[in-house]
Structure 1
Amino acid sequence: MSETTHSASSKHQHQKQSQSKSQSQSNSKSYGKVWLFFVYYWIIFGIGCYFGQYLPMSWRQPLSFALLVLVLITLFVKRARKYGIVISHIYTIVLGLLSYATFTYYLQSLGAEVFYKNVALAIVAFIVFGLIGYFLINDASGMGRYLFVTLIALIIASIVGIFIHNPILHTVIMVVGLLLFLMYTIYDFNRMKRGSFTPRELGFNLFLNLLHIIKYVLRIADRLRK
């Protein structure tokens, strides 16, 4: 009787170990896909950025407006999320086209050395906050609603900032924007930890987080320099 019980217990333990090993392998594959998509979107962005040097100045404002409309549609129209793979590609390409002028400006304004140091600082911040989200926070799912509200407020403030050239307002937008995407980095890495993601969507989100962190760090560095 005791031998039968021991055998059943061993079998159950072996099944649990097999399931745990299978789950670990599945998670590793999913993580790998996330980072493949992360790199993939950076390549798409880089291609768009390269062709951005040929983009006529007269096209920049209409494209910026179209990009804003696309973001708002994605945020508020649930049906649009079904076309996430198409929208993410369009968004990344247009963002790349528009970013060429942005990076060129900061490279000239800050100088190559300061420019690349700030890009490196942004990447380090992305990694540090990602590690915090993955290893130090158990469940950050509650952050989502607050981050979303802050994102909407930031978009509205940025639109207002186009028409109101107030240095204090623009400084607040920069600081809040940087903090927001650092918090989104914590949130997304924590989603990875909890398995609450699809690889393409999370890879795209992480790409956006890092890109916005880089841009806000450069904007703040440029503001402090003046």
Structure 2
Amino acid sequence: MAEAATKSTPHKSQQSKKTQATAYGKVWLFFMYYWLLFGVGCYFGQFLPMSWRKPLSIVLLVLVLFTLVSGRARKSGLIISHIYTLAIGLLSYATFTIYLQNLGAEVFYKNVILAIAAFIVFGLIGFFMIKDASSMGKYLFVTLIALVVASLIGMFIQNPIFHTIITIVGLLLFLLYTLYDFNRMKRGRFSPREMGFKLFLNLLHIIKYVLRLANKARK
């Protein structure tokens, strides 16, 4: 009996590793899927009238805020994640076009690579170097709500210092969210679709904030 139990333990361990590897694979499939969906939104963004951009941005921020504070909205995560990804893609076409024109292709792509590198570094730190980052969650959540509210206010305030502070806080927040989410993956506290979406959002916002800082530095 003891021998049978000893033999079953490595088998269970192997099975657990296979299940974990499958879950990780699904995370990255969803990650790529949301980037593809974002690309579709970006493509159609070139046809979006300029007069629609600000109202759509406000609706998007209100949707995010509602999702954060409403448990009922979180249950509709699949629908909301698709709406959000397509909408942010529509808005991002103009944003990326402006940054590309202002920075030039070389500087633009160097900053995108820098943002991706930062995403990878913080992800590796969260996965391999930190045992349990769960205590960070509540602080990141409160900061995220404050950032969304500040971004809404920022649409009606043309103050360069205010917008620079929002950009720096936003960049640090999503870098720390990347660390936190990779740590959740290590501890098995995730669903593949939700995690794929969150990692997509983290990287997208890191890229946007890095480009925004580079654009501000260029002026």
Asked if TM exceeds 0.5, the reply is: yes
Show the counterpart of 1:20. Answer: 13
Cα offset, 1:9, TM superposition? 3.2
Cα offset, 1:162, TM superposition? 2.0
Show the counterpart of 1:152. Answer: 145
Show the counterpart of 2:166. Answer: 173
The alignment's TM-score, normalised by the length of structure 2, stands at 0.98
Q: Does 1:187 align with 2:180?
A: yes
Contact 2:115 2:203 in 1 (8 A): yes
Distance 1:76 1:213 in 2: 23
Distance 1:162 1:97 in 2: 18
Q: Does 1:69 align with 2:65?
A: no
Cα offset, 1:164, TM superposition? 2.1
Distance 2:40 2:194 in 1: 20
Distance 1:221 1:35 in 2: 28
Cα offset, 1:67, TM superposition? 0.7
Q: Quick one: which amino acid aligns to residue 41 of structure 2?
A: G
SS of 1:139's equivalent in the other structure is coil
Q: 1:118-161 deviations in whole A, cap 9, x for unaligned?
A: 00000000000000000000011111000001111111222222
Show the counterpart of 1:118. Answer: 111
Q: 1:54-94 deviations in whole A, cap 9, x for unaligned?
A: 11111112211211121111111101111110110000000
Distance 2:157 2:7 in 1: 66
Distance 1:147 1:23 in 2: 30
Unaligned runs of 5+ in 1: 1-7
Show the counterpart of 1:5. Answer: none
Q: Quick one: which amino acid aligns to residue 32 of structure 1?
A: G
Distance 2:80 2:153 in 1: 25
Contact 2:81 2:197 in 1 (8 A): yes
Cα offset, 1:10, TM superposition? 2.6
Show the counterpart of 1:3. Answer: none
Distance 2:156 2:33 in 1: 36
Show the counterpart of 2:72. Answer: 79
Q: Quick one: which amino acid aligns to residue 43 of structure 1?
A: L
Aligned counterpart for 1:218 among listed residues 207, 211, 214? 211
Distance 2:152 2:15 in 1: 48
Distance 2:74 2:156 in 1: 30
Q: Give the count of matched residue pairs.
A: 219
Show the counterpart of 2:120. Answer: 127
Unaligned runs of 5+ in 2: none
CA RMSD of aligned residues (A): 0.9
Cα offset, 1:170, TM superposition? 1.2
Larger-Rg structure = 1
Contact 2:122 2:178 in 1 (8 A): yes
Show the counterpart of 2:194. Answer: 201
SS of 2:2's equivalent in the other structure is helix
